[in-house]
Structure 1
């Protein structure tokens, strides 16, 4: 058994190893913090597919679905196994813990590791729905953030980029040096060039979501009333130039357009629906890569404190709306809004005031840096309460078996 004492080694917000026990405890804590429903329906729960289930909002969607809606079904992610030199990715260890939780809760969940963009994965999922879950899918949650996507039809590989559209963008961002000392720095990101927008839309837009629906519909696997939701983010005007108005924003606009198209089709074919769930800010492995987002999130926490709504509570609210436990509330664009707590005028004004005042000298008094640093570490299983980081831990945790 490969055991070792693991200490965090990182380059900025990217950690080289993950702590299996820390990841396990983190998922267990999320499960405990998810509010339990008044009661689940008798019998087997609805069949759900979560695509992008091992991190961020997708992780929260999987856990909240198990606890709030009593789902069973399939979860898809793309994670790396442990090696002689390196631990597994954090999502690998988180998935192993979710599998244990689902088993204890009596919910049959199959966890698949592979490329969700591929038709091979789509076929594997469709076969499992037919063979193990009665041939009908009730819910599909789409939560995929990826740097690249290969189109199964053409074999073309597209790459997403984080760039503003039209002109360069200069923004403040938050960095930490090797000793964890914070620095507020201005960075400039050059504008999208050539086919940057098209490439990013091809990866992060709605093409693959729609392909999943087409694939499952063609196999006759969508239940009457089938519901699907793609998870998205709009964010603050402070980050709009690099996010909502940038290449990623173009992809999000395409995702929303796809939702409208799918909603019309599903309504006609299975009396179903498709929607976008707009989530609030959170520290995720994807968000920390976006210039300005780290600073914004730290300042937002400085303003809100414990009133900042974590992903697990946001996704519990989403499942309540999708299942009818709570009224389905849509904005003028037909989107489910779980971010209203973040975007109120008074909160945004307070964050904007701190943003203007933020420098390396002042940031400690404006942002909740201890929380932010700990949140980044917890993405990889470090800084999790009640974990003994001086103890050697086994890193060879197996992927959950789904053959039995």
Structure 2
């Protein structure tokens, strides 16, 4: 047992420790957004189940449709000096939620890119579930080691075609700071490496591995989660090196479909996640969007996704065959209002034109802080075990 008082200490949007009680409570808050439906037994594999939209999709599927499944993520255990990562604690609470709901969920802590992980996961799928109805792919990683070649690829946050400067949001002792951030141009190699990390190659390998083990159930479908976003963030995101990877992910869906696999990408709306908060300009954009319109939560969007994947609701596809959960964000009136706020934002008015206090709190909540009902002055147990399997 190791109890101590945990404080939010870090640099920028990265914190050194996470709060176990806060992370657990967030999982319960998320499940509380879900209205249960009468379940028919379905099974799912969620690759990237501990954070962001992957976590929301796991909780929504579990709580709404009683889905049984396996979740894969890569988290750090607690040490003598540091707590576990937030995703570790969220996973432990998600497993507890599944047990309370009488569902079968196993969580694997391993590198999703590794063939050894795929072997371990598929053994569990065969033993515990007998096959998979749905595969949700939600992986955001800074690097990837290709198990076939041994080569390490590194993703890059860079522009394509020309350098770019963007407004960006930072904080100094809790006070919002409006910055100008320069974005370098990606080389061809950096673009290719980013595609290798965040594109569709690994998603396709998961499908192939399941096919080779005959673990795709009749009616199987799969979806990889992606983002398009605003023209305001386009140069660093959709038209940048990350966008090249997202385009590859979407092309992978089309290739899988041609090969007889029911596959889509799901375009989710803006959210505050550990991955997105590191991207210049995204924090400012999301803060402005929240001020203008508010956000649909990842759980709300994940409910809509599950309703479509299970056939409860019709598919909402665009002309490119992508599921669109982001239409609320990209309407002309919303984007026009956000652009006006973006262009008018200065250091003097940033706290008025954008929801900066809300954004900083949301970032802290990613690590289990700023959660209502948690006593942050009390000691809390940090040695939380990874769920058994």
Q: Deviations over 1:91-136 (max 9, x none)?
A: 00000000000000011000000000000010011111111112x2
| Contact 1:21–1:393 (Cα < 8 Å) also in 2 | yes
Q: Give 1:245-256 correspondences, 5 Å limit.
A: 245-256=239-250
Give, in angstroms, the shift of residue 137 of structure 1. Answer: 1.0
Query: Match of 1:266, SS?
Result: coil
Corresponding residue for residue 355 of structure 1: 342
Q: Deviations over 1:341-369 (max 9, x none)?
A: 00000000000000001111111111112
Query: Match of 1:237, SS?
Result: coil
Question: Which shifted more, 139-148 or 66-75?
Answer: 66-75
| Contact 1:20–1:395 (Cα < 8 Å) also in 2 | yes
Question: TM-score, normalised to structure 1's length?
Answer: 0.95
Corresponding residue for residue 200 of structure 2: 206
| Contact 1:183–1:359 (Cα < 8 Å) also in 2 | no
Corresponding residue for residue 158 of structure 2: 163
Structure 1 distance, partners of 2:106, 2:60, is 16
Give, in angstroms, the shift of residue 34 of structure 1. Answer: 2.0
| Contact 2:36–2:65 (Cα < 8 Å) also in 1 | no
Question: Which shifted more, 63-72 or 330-339?
Answer: 63-72
How well do the aligned residues superpose, as a CA RMSD in angstroms? 0.8
- Which residue of 352, 358, 372 maps to 2:359? 372
Structure 1 distance, partners of 2:217, 2:317, is 23
Question: TM-score, normalised to structure 2's length?
Answer: 0.99
Question: Which shifted more, 83-92 or 257-266?
Answer: 257-266
Give, in angstroms, the shift of residue 194 of structure 1. Answer: 4.2
**Unaligned stretches of 5+ residues in structure 1:** 268-272
**Unaligned stretches of 5+ residues in structure 2:** none
Corresponding residue for residue 287 of structure 1: 276
| Contact 2:157–2:242 (Cα < 8 Å) also in 1 | yes
Corresponding residue for residue 232 of structure 1: 226
Corresponding residue for residue 345 of structure 1: 332
Query: Match of 2:150, SS?
Result: coil
| Contact 1:69–1:320 (Cα < 8 Å) also in 2 | no
Corresponding residue for residue 131 of structure 1: 127
| Contact 2:143–2:154 (Cα < 8 Å) also in 1 | yes
Q: Does 1:6 align with 2:2?
A: no
